[in-house]
């Protein structure tokens, strides 16, 4: 305990005020395997944060460790810039093996600096070079990374103009209708912005989108909308960039999330899971776009051999063991169990996700106000990384107040739209989960979405343990603040409590 406290004290004294996860998760991991992390104090946690969605195979999977050891023992150079090596060659072969048909046969790959954000920068640069145009179309709620200014400070051109378009969402639909109709209206808006000569938007260099918005609150794009974006961009010769940094490698129930819709993007941005827990990022694109100059996108750390070996092992394991199918089946079962939980606790406003990328939006009391209902609750579009700073505060200063009369608010929901987002309740659930040995992520436009990103290797038993702990945490947050949020089905709660053996190791 003293070791843990000492390390945490020194961390808060010495590390940046911008640190994120560390604020909401005051633990000191020293060992990890699969779903489980062990802290310096000996406590064990079920990790459903998975390195912000990086760990497709969980922590320290044997095939990943073996691949890393093999490179270390071989005497191969660990730093090679962007030179060719057998390790890199094997990685590209395995990566191309997994690509959506239509891209695989005509693909080029650019290795980037090791973070997802660097690959996003490279993708934007690529389409600007290929089209000779400069503007980019992006979507409300999108998250593509954190870099800004490095190129400007280096004297490079970086005046990327971004036009923001509506991303379809059911629960807080900007048009107040949701469903297929909301998605169709969002598509029409995009079309009209591109075709209206007075829209103020010049013909863009590319469109970038996430097939499932992760940090934006776990919002899967409807397949029909994604196909519409493909038609709209193809008809106007606008390269479509799919940012699969978080959705890739089986996470959503398909190897790449674009496969659900059958869409073939022109460019794919990949990172996180492709490095098998080590830093790696690439852009994959159609070869006719490959017209940029040598050195157009450089970077010292583009040749991480250990990450490529770990990545090759991970990609191959996910493919050979059909882990995307497993993510689809288990994910839909877990989502339906989360929906049952939402039926018990009105402070869960919405449950959504795809595969093993799941979220639960926490809401407070108050009349719904359509699309803008949540805006007043947190005063900011925080992403997952903000959860430690903005998510743990209670903007209204009254968590109990948020929960009072929530049942009555629930009755109004259908007529007045969704209730206000409740980042304070989400943060309380995250804290209660941690107390019960479960690590969850927060995200969403208002930091009000409790997110689950378990490894694809999670067993049925572990999944039950995760849901038990989560249900317990929600119950304690709901129950400790007000008597008005009584579960709607107490018999189920009692059964769950009976079940609550520590099933995961």
Tell me which residues in 258-277 interact with ligand PLP (CB under 6 A). Answer: 271
Does residue number 143 form part of the binding site for ligand PLP (CB under 6 A)? yes
Q: Which residue is nearest to ligand PLP (CB)?
A: 116
Q: Are 390 and 380 in contact (CB under 8 A)?
A: yes
Residue 447 near ligand PLP by CB under 6 A: no
- For ligand PLP, the closer of residues 214 and 364 by Cβ is 214
Contact between 374 and 448 under an 8 Å Cβ cutoff? The reply is yes
Assess 354 for contact with ligand PLP (CB under 6 A).
no
Does 214 sit near ligand PLP (CB under 6 A)?
yes
Answer yes or no whether residue 254 interacts with ligand PLP by CB under 6 A. no
- The answer for residues whose C-beta is within 8 angstroms of residue 7's C-beta and 6 or more apart is 28, 40
Q: Which residue has the tokens 């490529």?
A: 308
Q: Which is nearer to ligand PLP, 94 or 118 (CB)?
A: 118
Q: Is 160 helix (H, G, I), strand (E, B) or coil?
A: coil
For ligand PLP, the closer of residues 327 and 406 by Cβ is: 327
d(CA 17, CA 482): 34
Question: How big is the chain, counted in residues?
Answer: 505
- CB nearer ligand PLP, residue 240 or residue 348: 240
Answer for the pair 451, 353: CB distance below 8 angstroms, yes or no. no
Q: Determine which residue in the list 245, 330, 426, 428 makes contact with ligand PLP, applying CB under 6 A.
A: 245
Toward ligand PLP, which CB reaches closer, 52 or 442?
Answer: 52
Nearer to ligand PLP, 99 or 471 (CB): 99
Question: Is there binding between residue 100 and ligand PLP (CB under 6 A)?
Answer: no
The DSSP H or E segment spanning 339 is helix 323-344
What is the side-by-side strand order in the sheet with 36-39? 29-33, 36-39, 44-47, 438-439
Task: Tell me whether residue 246 or residue 447 sits nearer to ligand PLP (CB atom).
Answer: 246
Contacting ligand PLP (CB under 6 A), which of 144, 230, 260, 445?
A: 144
Total binding residues toward ligand PLP, as defined by CB under 6 A: 15
Which pair of structure tokens corresponds to residue 320? 């050979």
Question: What is the phi/psi pair of residue 113, to 5°?
Answer: -55, 165
Contact by Cβ (8 Å): 47, 25: no
Three state DSSP letters for 170-225: CCCCCCCCCHHHHHHHHHHHHHHHHHCCCCCCCCCCEEEECCEECCCCCEECCHHH
Binding test (CB under 6 A) with ligand PLP, winner from 47, 94, 121, 243: 243
Contact string 47-86 vs ligand PLP (x = CB under 6 A)? -----x----------------------------------
Residues that bind ligand PLP (CB under 6 A): 52, 115-117, 120, 143-145, 210, 214-215, 243, 245-246, 271
């Amino acid at each position: 305990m003293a070791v843990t406290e000492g390390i945490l004290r020194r961390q808060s004294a010495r590390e940046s005020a911008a640190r994120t996860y560390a604020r909401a998760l005051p633990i000191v991991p020293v060992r990890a395997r699969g779903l489980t992390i062990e802290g310096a104090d000996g406590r064990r946690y079920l990790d459903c944060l998975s390195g912000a969605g990086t760990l497709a195979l969980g922590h320290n999977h044997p095939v990943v460790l073996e691949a890393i050891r093999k490179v270390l023992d071989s005497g191969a150079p660990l730093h090679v810039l962007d030179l060719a090596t057998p390790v890199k060659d094997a990685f590209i072969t395995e990566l191309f093996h997994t690509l959506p048909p239509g891209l695989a046969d005509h693909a080029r790959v650019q290795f980037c600096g090791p973070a997802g954000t660097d690959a996003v920068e490279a993708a934007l640069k690529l389409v600007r070079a290929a089209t000779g145009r400069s503007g980019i179309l992006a979507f409300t709620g999108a998250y593509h990374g954190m870099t800004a200014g490095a190129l400007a400070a280096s004297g490079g051109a970086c005046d990327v103009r971004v036009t923001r378009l509506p991303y379809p969402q059911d629960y807080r639909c900007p048009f107040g209708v949701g469903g297929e109709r909301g998605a169709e209206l969002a598509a029409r808006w995009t079309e009209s912005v591109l075709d209206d000569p007075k829209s103020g938007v010049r013909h863009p260099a590319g469109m970038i989108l996430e097939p499932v918005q992760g940090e934006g609150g776990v919002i899967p794009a409807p397949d029909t909308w994604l196909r519409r974006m493909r038609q709209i961009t193809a008809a106007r010769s606008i390269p479509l960039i799919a940012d699969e940094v978080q959705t890739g490698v089986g996470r959503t129930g398909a190897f790449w999330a674009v496969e659900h819709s059958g869409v073939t993007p022109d460019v794919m941005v990949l990172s996180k899971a492709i490095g098998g827990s080590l830093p790696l990022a690439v852009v994959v694109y159609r070869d006719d776009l490959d017209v940029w100059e040598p050195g157009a996108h450089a970077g010292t750390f583009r040749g991480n051999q250990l990450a490529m070996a770990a990545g090759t092992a991970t990609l191959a394991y996910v493919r050979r063991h059909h882990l995307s199918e497993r993510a689809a089946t288990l994910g839909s079962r877990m989502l339906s169990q989360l929906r049952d939980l939402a039926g018990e606790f009105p402070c869960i406003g919405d449950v959504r996700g795809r595969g093993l990328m799941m979220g639960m939006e926490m809401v407070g009391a108050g009349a719904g106000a359509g699309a803008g209902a949540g805006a007043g609750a947190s005063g900011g579009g925080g992403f997952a990384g903000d959860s430690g700073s903005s998510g743990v505060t209670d903007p209204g200063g009254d968590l109990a107040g948020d929960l009072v009369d929530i049942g009555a608010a629930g009755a109004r929901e259908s007529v007045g739209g969704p209730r206000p987002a409740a980042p304070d309740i989400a943060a309380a659930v995250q804290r209660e989960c941690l107390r019960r040995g479960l690590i969850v992520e927060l995200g969403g436009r208002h930091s009000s979405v409790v997110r689950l990103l378990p490894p694809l290797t999670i067993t049925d038993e572990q999944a039950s343990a995760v849901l038990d702990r989560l249900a317990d945490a929600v119950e304690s947050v709901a129950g400790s603040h007000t008597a008005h949020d009584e579960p709607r089905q107490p018999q189920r709660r009692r059964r769950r409590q009976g079940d609550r053996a520590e099933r995961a190791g």
